[in-house]
């Protein structure tokens, strides 16, 4: 092995191991961020079952999960495969970034790209599980992308620090503006969905702490997840509705996040613990996508520029539609089911990072005539 080959191999090993270590921290973010827990306190990871902190000797990335067979050494509780998967995915992503950027390539772009793929991984797993993308990932990503584009103009293909910053902000603005228009236009065109149930179906609204849960048949929904705007309203055509001490037959309930109206009567939901009945039709408010996706594509644009924004939106839409159709064909999707869009935007951004321009060139060669 030549000296050059040795150093190339050494740096490749470093990228993989460093990625696995970062992946361990990303698992902390994925678990704690949606629960509003600090990612710094406690400093060491803890078992999600017994809550005991895990000693460093049992917290070695990749190795510990395999050695302990996916179980906590203290209580024997199962540790989901996701923890191992995130560490392995991050390690492979860091290695792929280094292979793309290593000398004689633009090696200085490896750290910014490592930060980007970390944001993509955290956003993907949180959005799949909780249908949110935290502001630390979205607005934090916009800030990091802009700062890094200023410090390393080559990230934007720019020739000066100022131009790097401006192109980064242009990418973020393009992403935010594009999906903001989609959200607003989608609300006007498809902001209400009417579901006619096959038969009269029991429903129950029940308070759960500061929130509530609506159960219709076998479907359970968190109340706050149904409302994105103060003007959103959910309508229920009921054969019967039991509210407080009154029973209403053949009634229409008009529900807002904090109140309900039935006929001329309005009641604050804070004054109710539960109401129930049977329903045969529901009209629910809906959005084309959440504003977390709008901010997320802005973060992608801040790192990769406006071309990556367009590529990620198109690719993510195609991938999301394909998965949605496959899910419908595989089994009947519940009317209340939601599809997170963030993971598909992350997929589009990752494709652009590693092969986007080549994919676009290949597509244009196929679609355009030779003499175009």
Q: Is the domain of 259 the same as that of 314?
A: no
Q: Report which of residues 322 and 176 the model is more confident about.
A: 176
- H/E run at residue 178: helix 161-190
Count the alpha carbons within 13 Å of 275 in the hemisphere toward its beta carbon.
24
Q: For residue 232, is pLDDT > 60? A: yes
Q: Is the domain of 90 the same as that of 2?
A: yes
Q: Mean pLDDT, the chain, as a whole number?
A: 90
Q: How far is it, in rounded angstroms, from Cα 197 to Cα 204?
A: 16
Q: Is the domain of 313 the same as that of 219?
A: no
The predicted pLDDT at position 149 comes to 98
Phi/psi of residue 246, nearest 5 degrees: -110, 145
Q: How far is it, in rounded angstroms, from Cα 346 to Cα 349?
A: 5
Q: Report which of residues 372 and 130 the model is more confident about.
A: 130
Q: For residue 336, is pLDDT > 60? A: no
* Burial class, 27, CB count within 10 angstroms (exposed 0-12 / middle 13-18 / buried 19+): buried
What does pTM read for this prediction? 0.85
Q: Is the domain of 153 the same as that of 241?
A: no
Give the structural domain span for 181: 112-190+291-372
Q: Is the domain of 262 the same as that of 275?
A: yes
CA 51 distance to own-chain centroid: 26
Q: Report which of residues 356 and 287 the model is more confident about.
A: 356
Where in the chain does DSSP place strands (E)? 192-208, 211-216, 219-222, 234-243, 246-255, 259-262, 265-268, 274-285
Structural domain ending residue among the three candidates 285, 305, 332: 285
> Any idea which of 7-11, 127-131, 313-317, 324-328 has the lowest mean pLDDT?
324-328
103 neighbors 315 (Cβ within 8 angstroms): no
Quick: pLDDT tens for 39-95: 887 777 777 777 777 777 777 899 988 988 888 877 877 888 999 999 999 999 999
Quick: pLDDT tens for 150-203: 999 999 999 999 999 999 999 999 999 999 999 988 888 778 888 999 899 999
**Residue 6 tokens, joined:** 């040795």
Ramachandran sector of residue 282 (left: φ over 0; alpha: ψ -120 to 50; beta: rest): beta
Which of 346, 302, 295 shows the shortest CA–CA distance to 180? 295
DSSP, res 91: H
The predicted pLDDT at position 372 comes to 57
Which of 170, 176, 179 shows the shortest CA–CA distance to 306? 170
Q: Is the domain of 165 the same as that of 304?
A: yes
Q: For residue 371, is pLDDT > 80? A: no
Q: Is the domain of 175 the same as that of 311?
A: yes
The predicted pLDDT at position 332 comes to 54
Q: Is the domain of 100 the same as that of 157?
A: no
Structural domain ending residue among the three candidates 105, 129, 155: 105
The predicted pLDDT at position 26 comes to 97
Q: For residue 137, is pLDDT > 80? A: yes
Q: How far is it, in rounded angstroms, from Cα 308 to Cα 237?
A: 45
Q: State percent of the chain over pLDDT 90.
A: 65
Other Cβ atoms less than 10 A from the Cβ of 258: the count is 11
Residue with tokens 């001490």: 245
Structural domain ending residue among the three candidates 76, 105, 134: 105
Q: Is the domain of 8 the same as that of 96?
A: yes
Mean pLDDT of 140-144: 98
- Sequence-ordered list of residues with C-beta below 8 angstroms from that of 36, at least 6 positions apart, any chain: none
The predicted pLDDT at position 314 comes to 96
The predicted pLDDT at position 52 comes to 78
The predicted pLDDT at position 334 comes to 55
Q: Is the domain of 347 the same as that of 337?
A: yes
pLDDT band of residue 216 (cuts 50, 70, 90) is: very high
Helices (H) and strands (E) in the chain, counts: 9, 8
Split into its structural domains, the chain has a count of 3
Q: State percent of the chain over pLDDT 70.
A: 97
- Sequence-ordered list of residues with C-beta below 8 angstroms from that of 343, at least 6 positions apart, any chain: 123, 124, 127, 128
Q: Is the domain of 77 the same as that of 159?
A: no
Q: Is the domain of 79 the same as that of 17?
A: yes
């Amino acid at each position: 092995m030549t000296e050059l080959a040795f150093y190339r191999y050494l740096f490749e090993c470093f990228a993989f191991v460093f990625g696995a270590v970062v992946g361990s921290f990303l698992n902390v973010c994925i678990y704690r961020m949606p629960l509003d827990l600090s990612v710094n306190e406690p400093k060491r990871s803890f078992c999600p079952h017994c809550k005991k902190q895990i000693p460093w000797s049992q917290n070695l990335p990749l190795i510990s999960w395999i050695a302990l067979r996916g179980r906590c050494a203290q209580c024997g509780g199962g540790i989901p495969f996701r923890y191992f998967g995130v560490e392995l995915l991050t390690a492979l992503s860091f290695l792929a970034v280094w292979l793309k950027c290593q000398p004689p390539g633009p090696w200085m772009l490896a750290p910014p790209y490592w930060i980007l793929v970390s944001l993509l991984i955290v956003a993907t797993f949180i959005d799949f599980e909780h249908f949110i993308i935290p502001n630390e990932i979205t607005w934090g990503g916009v800030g990091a992308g802009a700062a890094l584009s200023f410090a390393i103009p080559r990230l934007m293909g720019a020739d000066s620090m100022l131009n790097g910053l401006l192109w980064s902000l242009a990418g973020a603005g393009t992403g935010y503006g594009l999906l903001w228009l989609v959200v607003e236009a989608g609300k006007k065109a498809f902001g209400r969905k009417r579901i006619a149930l096959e038969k009269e179906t029991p429903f129950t609204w029940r308070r759960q702490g500061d929130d509530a849960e609506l159960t219709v048949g076998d479907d359970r929904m968190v109340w706050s997840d149904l409302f994105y705007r103060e003007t959103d309203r959910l309508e229920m055509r009921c054969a019967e509705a039991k509210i407080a001490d009154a029973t209403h037959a053949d009634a229409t309930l008009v529900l807002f996040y904090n109140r309900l109206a039935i006929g001329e009567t309005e009641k604050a939901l804070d004054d109710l613990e539960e109401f129930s009945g049977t329903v045969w039709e529901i009209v629910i408010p809906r959005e084309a996508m959440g504003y977390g996706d709008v901010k997320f594509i802005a973060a992608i644009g801040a790192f990769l520029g406006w071309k990556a924004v367009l590529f990620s939106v198109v690719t993510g839409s195609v991938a999301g539609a394909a998965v949605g159709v496959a899910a419908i064909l595989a089994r009947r999707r519940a009317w209340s089911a939601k599809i997170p869009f963030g993971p598909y935007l992350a997929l589009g951004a990752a494709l652009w990072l590693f092969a986007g321009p080549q994919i676009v060139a290949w597509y244009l060669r196929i679609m355009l005539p030779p003499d175009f």
